Chains A and B, each alone.
Chain A
Amino acid sequence: MEKILDIKDLHVSFVTYGGEVQAVRGVNLELYKGETLAIVGESGCGKSVTANSIMRLIPSPPGRIKKGSIHFKGEDMTKLSNKQVRKIRGVDISMIFQDPMTALNPTLTIGNQLTEGLKQHRKISSKQANDQAIDMLNLVGIPNPDERMKQYPHQFSGGMRQRIVIAMALICEPELLIADEPTTALDVTIQAQILQLFQKIQRETGVSIILITHDLGVVAKIASRIAVMYAGKVIETGTRQEIFYRPNHPYTQGLLNSVPRLDQKGEKLIPIVGTPPDLFSPPQGCPFTARCPKAMEVCSRVYPFQTELSETHAVDCWLQDERAKKYIAST
């Protein structure tokens, strides 16, 4: 399979009055054509910052990509000029944001907002752009697109707006779609519809999707691969089956334990105790040590090496390291 995105050792920091927040601390990720990668983790773990870095949408200042590379189709996004990045934004990589109620400009018509990307990047007439926008609205399931084009965002419901946001993101036929919590602001029935829409679009256009979420239910539904992030690092990656049925990192296990399940009636949910570490001064060892029920002495001193459990499954945890295993066995 063709690799379209390759993030290596990405470090992103925000300089604030209180000091430097190390939001992303050495993320490695890759994405293959046509797959859906879910990045999961709790608030502040760096998943959105990672996604925004891909598009170079980190507000700067205060944000800065300190180190690392983001190769998209062979080109390093971190090294491109602003002008070159603008030619990629919206055309090759598109983004969908969390809240459809605020993601659309209230003073411009839907048609205007849909076609402006097309007009910016392709040499086409207004008529053609309009036709394409109407096709797109049809694809995302908006009835009466001709009429709807002339309306303003406040004339649409939340679910409809998210469909429009998706149509807007897809209009230039991007190869990569980054969806930053696309369903968080929607109610559950609309969530299901939007997720189905993602699947339909992927079938029809072959677009690769990066899905950022903290909702494991969403992940279970559409992700093919999952990356679990904690305190600015990817601590475990694997296919959906591997993460859901053979989670190896204690944090991943904790996350799954805190999700209600329909097949286990009456059991209490087990929360992860404690809070994530302060990213002003992240701990030198594994950041999860303080909350980890299986923490060892080594955990707080040295960050674990990555252990590959299968071709697709990798985890950053001392428990899986051969040396630690031997040591545990000997004592």
Chain B
Amino acid sequence: MAAYIMKRFVLMVVTVLIIATLTFFLMNLLPGSPLNEERTTNESVQQNLEAHFNLDEPLIVQYVLYLKSIATFDFGPSIKQPTETVNSLLGRGFPISAELGIWTILTAVVSGITLGVFAALRHNGIIDYIAMTIAVLGISVPNFVLATMLIQELAVNRGIFPAATWNSPAHMVLPILALATGPMAIIARLTRSSMLETLTQDYIKTARAKGLSPVKVIVKHALKNALMPVVTILGTLMAGILTGTFVIEKIFAIPGMGKYFVQSINQRDYPVIMGTTVFYSVFLVFMLFLVDIAYGLLDPRIKLHEKGDG
């Protein structure tokens, strides 16, 4: 197990490095620079600023400097917001984004699995049809459309929930709902088909023949096996939710990381672009790592260690 984690760790570092490198060069391919604005600046001021942010160095030197900043996890000051450092932006925005993301994942997983299991148990029954209708709608309607519909109906027309910002649990309901519906629908459909297949397995019959209660048969014997594909797709879904937060944060005016991320690209704020990208990729790569660990815990046939005792 320790060997496996070590191996994965090295792979994770390499992955993040590749992402950082790609981002760096792509970023520099973009026309313009953070100091390039409409108003003309004094030539010497421009040079001084460039020197201050090391933008006058050759690209390769800048690259090395960036790598250094990644290694120390100190991305320096923002060029566009001189009073802020990248780290302070991350420190402020990330907890809010994480809150949104984690609640979204939890909502999607719990409701998706529940919906899928009940649909499978009442296969071709009314519950099945209702659940799958919800699922198809959830997959087809993009989250920003759903978000505006939710705001219009539940915030503006009925006034049940606040329309924007992020101050209390009530504020969180609509963004989470808007963001979680898509992943929930995918999970529900996957759980249903996987559950239907699992329920025809011989070991389910064995479990029933032992006289176990239906709940025990489903939760202990069927669900654990049926969740395998769901766990697999969880990694992809998390990436989707991560990018989804940008849009949702914008719509609901949530002061999360998404705002800085989009803004930084528009303004060519190099340190912020690099900082947020590296941060997001570290986060995502770590989540995928957790998914792989969970996979091994669910199915003992998947060996996480190289040379085990079998």
Binding site for B on A (CB under 8 A): 55, 57, 86-91, 94-95, 97-99, 102-109, 116-117, 120-121, 152, 154-155, 165, 168-169
Query: Other CB < 8 Å A-B pairs besides A86-B211, A105-B221, A116-B216, 4 of them?
Result: A89-B209, A97-B202, A108-B224, A154-B300
Q: Does B310 sit at the interface, judged by CB under 8 A?
A: yes
Query: Bound state CA distance, A59 and B202, in angstroms?
Result: 13
* Interface residues as binary, B196-225 with A (CB distance below 8 Å gives 1, 0 otherwise): 000001110111111111001000110011
Structural contact, B209 and A94, CB atoms closer than 8 A: yes
A171 to chain B, nearest CB (A): 9
B262 to chain A, nearest CB (A): 43
Q: Does B153 sit at the interface, judged by CB under 8 A?
A: no
The binding surface of chain A is classed by DSSP as mixed
A315 to chain B, nearest CB (A): 32
B207 to chain A, nearest CB (A): 7
Query: Bound state CA distance, A94 and B206, in angstroms?
Result: 9
Which B residue sits closest to A155, measured CB to CB? Answer: B310
Which A residue sits closest to B228, measured CB to CB? Answer: A107
Which B residue sits closest to A89, measured CB to CB? Answer: B211
For the complex of A and B, the 4 pairs showing the least CB-CB separation, nearest first, are A89-B211, A90-B211, A90-B210, A102-B202
Query: Bound state CA distance, A95 and B203, in angstroms?
Result: 12
Which B residue sits closest to A112, measured CB to CB? Answer: B220
Interface centre among B201, B203, B225, B310 (most CB of A within 10 A): B203
B214 to chain A, nearest CB (A): 8
B208 CB contact (under 8 Å) in A89, A104, A106, A154: A89
Residues of A within 8 A of B49 (CB): none
Residues of A within 8 A of B298 (CB): 107
Residues of A within 8 A of B225 (CB): 105-107
The binding surface of chain B is classed by DSSP as helix
Given contacts A86-B213, A99-B202, contact A106 B207 (CB under 8 A): no
Query: Bound state CA distance, A91 and B211, in angstroms?
Result: 8
Interface centre among A86, A94, A165 (most CB of B within 10 A): A86
Interface centre among B203, B208, B209, B300 (most CB of A within 10 A): B209
Residues of A within 8 A of B57 (CB): none
Residues of A within 8 A of B210 (CB): 89-90, 116-117, 120, 168
Residues of B within 8 A of A97 (CB): 202, 205-206, 209
What are 29 sample pairs from A and B whose C-beta atoms fall under 8 A apart?
A57-B208, A57-B209, A86-B212, A87-B211, A89-B209, A90-B211, A95-B209, A99-B202, A102-B202, A103-B206, A105-B203, A105-B206, A105-B221, A106-B299, A106-B300, A107-B224, A107-B299, A108-B220, A108-B221, A109-B300, A116-B210, A116-B212, A116-B216, A117-B211, A117-B212, A120-B210, A120-B216, A121-B211, A155-B310
Residues of B within 8 A of A98 (CB): 202
Query: Bound state CA distance, A177 and B310, in angstroms?
Result: 33
Residues of B within 8 A of A102 (CB): 201-203
Residues of B within 8 A of A91 (CB): 211
B296 to chain A, nearest CB (A): 11
B81 to chain A, nearest CB (A): 51
B218 to chain A, nearest CB (A): 13
